[in-house]
Amino acid sequence: MNQKQMVQEILALKTKHNALILAHYYQNKEIQDIADLVGDSFQLSKAAAETNADTIVFCGVHFMAETAKLLSPNKRVLLPVKDAGCPMADMADAKSIKEYREKHPEASVVCYVNSTAEIKALSDICVTSSNAEKILKRYPGQKFLYVPDKNLAQYLIDKHDLNIDLFEGWCDIHNDLTVEDVKTMKEKYPDARFIAHPEAPLEVLREADFVGGTQALLSYALHDEASTYLIGTEEGLIHELQKQSPDKTFLPVTDKLVCEDMKKTTLEDLHRALKEGVYEIEVDSTIREAAEASLRRMMEESAQ
Ligand code: 13P
Ligand code: SF4
């Protein structure tokens, strides 16, 4: 089957199963192009919660599909590649959180959406890169543990002087960004704006003209007046930027910004997912309610 036939079959299967195809901005171009909605983790979670479709095919990584299932428990949620995971999400462990809670009963536990359902269930509230700052800065005196991304937490502490204890977790892709990478590209493109995701280390974020979650980076670069941007997040975002703003130049700040897990999903995988109903996401019934509650708290706080 050639690519054109594959695309046609995917669209036919989508109609047959009343399915919604969601894709994160870090997915391969052909997956972004066929999706009903391309977005960041928050937008996709909202879409999953609001859809009337019977099946959600989540082209992303496991925690994203699991989040969709938590917010849409009566829908069938499929992840086209079984082992598409987020190494950072797997860095947080339940034992550490339970021990922390015993030592610090006054603290609230905040989990980044890049976490397992088990960690969400042990947390008071979940946040994503698009709403962590908006929500947590409302609580200047409150003590928090933020799991698992130490870089995003460090950024919030630096910007708002918040009382946050760090967890030793990070994203290998964003954490690898260095000040040297930024300086090298700024020398080559002195008029370019550097924009970065808060999963990057603090010293790199201090070099940025703008820091924000994936959707905020997209909005900034589309509406700002510069002509060249150095992109400090996964390179998949450049596809949408270039589509929406073909006259501007968008360059990855290094060629290391590729999330292999996000890039695992191919059209063949999406086709198989719709045809065979794989891989269906299930959430352990003992943690489902508590995990959903931390996501619902995020939705409420984010809407305020
Ligand atoms: P967003 O919440 O910005 O979509 O980020 C998800 C992610 O995995 C970033 O690496
Ligand atoms: Fe996880 Fe990093 Fe990939 Fe995002 S880019 S899914 S945080 S490994």
Ligand 1, residue 259: give the atom nearest the CA. 10
Whether 149 is in the pocket of ligand 2, judged by its Cβ within 6 Å, is no
Whether 118 is in the pocket of ligand 2, judged by its Cβ within 6 Å, is no
- Mean pLDDT (whole number) for 286-299: 98
Whether 128 is in the pocket of ligand 2, judged by its Cβ within 6 Å, is no
* 36 and 164 in a common domain: no
- In this predicted structure, what is the pLDDT of residue 94? 98
Nearest CA to ligand 2 atom 8: 86
* 75 and 116 in a common domain: no
* 162 and 17 in a common domain: no
Q: In the structure encoding, which two tokens stand for residue 61, read together?
A: 């990584």
- In this predicted structure, what is the pLDDT of residue 89? 98
The pLDDT tens digits for 171-219 are: 999 999 999 999 999 999 999 999 999 999 999 999 999 999 999 999 9
Whether 216 is in the pocket of ligand 2, judged by its Cβ within 6 Å, is no
The whole-model pTM stands at 0.97
* Boundaries of domain holding 153: 88-171+287-303
Whether 200 is in the pocket of ligand 2, judged by its Cβ within 6 Å, is no
- The ligand with the least distance to the CA atom of 86 is 2
* 70 and 43 in a common domain: yes
* 69 and 23 in a common domain: yes
Torsion of CA 46, 30, 75, 88, to 10 degrees: -60
- Mean pLDDT (whole number) for 11-39: 98
Q: Do residues 299 and 47 touch, judged by C-beta distance below 8 A?
A: no
Whether 173 is in the pocket of ligand 2, judged by its Cβ within 6 Å, is yes
* 243 and 222 in a common domain: yes
Does the residue 114 lie in any domain? yes
Going by pLDDT thresholds of 50, 70 and 90, the confidence category of residue 46 is very high
Does the residue 188 lie in any domain? yes
Does the residue 211 lie in any domain? yes
Contacts of 49 (CB under 8 A, 6+ apart): 68, 71, 72, 299
- The ligand with the least distance to the CA atom of 235 is 2
- In this predicted structure, what is the pLDDT of residue 48? 95
Whether 131 is in the pocket of ligand 1, judged by its Cβ within 6 Å, is no
The pLDDT tens digits for 51-78 are: 999 999 999 999 999 999 999 999 999 9
* 242 and 191 in a common domain: yes
- In this predicted structure, what is the pLDDT of residue 228? 98
Q: What is the mean pLDDT of the chain?
A: 97
* 101 and 51 in a common domain: no
Does the residue 130 lie in any domain? yes
* 102 and 55 in a common domain: no
The pLDDT tens digits for 209-244 are: 999 999 999 999 999 999 999 999 999 999 999 999
* 248 and 123 in a common domain: no
Does the residue 257 lie in any domain? no
The number of distinct structural domains making up the chain is 3
* 162 and 93 in a common domain: yes
* 184 and 224 in a common domain: yes
The CATH number for 143's domain is: 3.40.50.10800
In a 3-state reduction of DSSP, which class is residue 117? Answer: helix
